[in-house]
Amino acid sequence: MKGGVLVKYRKFGNTGLDISVLGFGSMRLPYCDINGKREIDYDKGVELIQRAFELGVNYVDTAPYYCDSLSEVVVGRALKGWRDKVYLSTKNPIENESGDDFIKRLEKSLKQLDTDYIDFYHMWGINWDTFTTKINVPSGPLQAALKAKEQGLIKHMSFSFHDVPENMFKIIDTGYFETLLCQYNLLDRSNEKGLEYATSKGMGTVVMGPVAGGRLGMPSDAIKNLIKGDIKSSAEMALRYVIANPNVTCALSGMENLTQLEQNVAVAEMDYALSQSELQQVQASLEEKKKLAELYCTGCNYCMPCPSNVNIPLNFSVMNYHKVYGLTDLAKAQYKEIGTVAHMPGEKADKCIECGLCEEKCPQKIKIRQQLKETAKVLG
């Protein structure tokens, strides 16, 4: 892949701009070993981002804390000679309700990026409560952002979203934002209606995690074979699915090396990532898989609490990666994490003492004890 511009472009809502369907996410830049210490590899990072620009990727996204807080520095270096040809996105972590502090964080990003302006500046990872209590307050971040936009430091106001899906509609309806960034992939389609609504309101939409943070990059015939044809990997299937959604302007992928970049560009250069019939086929298959997963557990939590602190819904959710999606390596890796990381609390399935209290409370009458045994055997 040595040619020029390859990727396709889409209108970015009502911004008047066209951006590439593939965006460069700068959260997994290359590292190297220097005197036994893992350090960011500035040269390889710049080379990788600029190669993406050469292939037609014109949207690059970063944030203050990515890559040991050095991602913005690498992106800034990569922008040299490209600044007027590409669009830059970064984010402001809303740490408090102070507009002055918002501006300080903005100024720090501008300095790290060595640029005079940011094309798309995101209120980072916000929810409705944050917007109402910390952002849209007197002398707060919203007023500071509007002033920064008047001064030309920000070209377009954006937000990245982490909240229950229905609250995306509320933030969109405030009318302050031109684009949004949210999670969406084959395994997590909860923001699908929100993306459709944003598009109907003239907003540009960028999706993070199209390969589910690498989870869909793991081998899976169940994912790879969602449609017939020459699909080389589950990661390719996942990216094609996201790009095929007409309510997605750009799929943001964190790429660590040239191989990943060129594989993703190969998808982004397709006239149609999926045909209409293929998209319908995938949607139908996903609905079948969702129903199959719900046979094992709907995640209603009625079975909880467990006297042995077994996180029954979480164990079953992890098991579904194996049973339903064929992501066995992922399921085993996540099973190991149960009870060891904050976002996966409770005990693993092997701690079940078979008391049966959970089965008495389960509205689906699932044979929970039997399925916990199976989970422990297969994943443990």
**Neighbouring C-alpha atoms within 13 Å toward the C-beta of 264:** 30
Instruction: Choose the weakest-confidence range: 39-43, 62-66, 294-298, 344-348.
Output: 294-298
Q: What is the pLDDT of residues 185-228, one digit of tens each?
A: 988 889 999 999 999 999 999 999 888 766 777 767 777 778 77
pLDDT value at position 5? Answer: 59
User: Tens of pLDDT along 132-171?
Assistant: 999 999 999 999 999 999 999 999 999 999 899 999 999 9
Mean pLDDT on 23-46: 94
Q: What was the pLDDT predicted at 199?
A: 98
Does 372 score more than 50 pLDDT? yes
Is the pLDDT at 2 greater than 70? The verdict is no
Contact of 304 with 313, CB cutoff 8 Å? yes
pLDDT at 3: 47
Can you give the pTM of this predicted structure? Answer: 0.84
- What confidence tens digit (pLDDT) does each residue in 354-368 have? 999 999 999 889 999
Residue 188 is predicted with a pLDDT of 85
Residue 290 pLDDT: 80
Contact 313, 363 (CB under 8 A): no
The confidence score (pLDDT) of residue 1 equals 41
Cα separation, 120 vs 123, in Å, equals 10
pLDDT for residue 4: 53
Distance CA 340, CA 253 (A): 28
d(CA 180, CA 317): 28
Residues 280-325 pLDDT 10s: 888 888 888 888 877 788 888 999 999 999 999 999 999 998 988 8
**Domains in the chain, ordered, with CATH?**
9-273 (3.20.20.100), 297-379 (no CATH)
- Of 41-45, 57-61, 308-312, 322-326, least confident by mean pLDDT is 322-326
Angstrom distance (rounded) from CA 124 to CA 143: 16
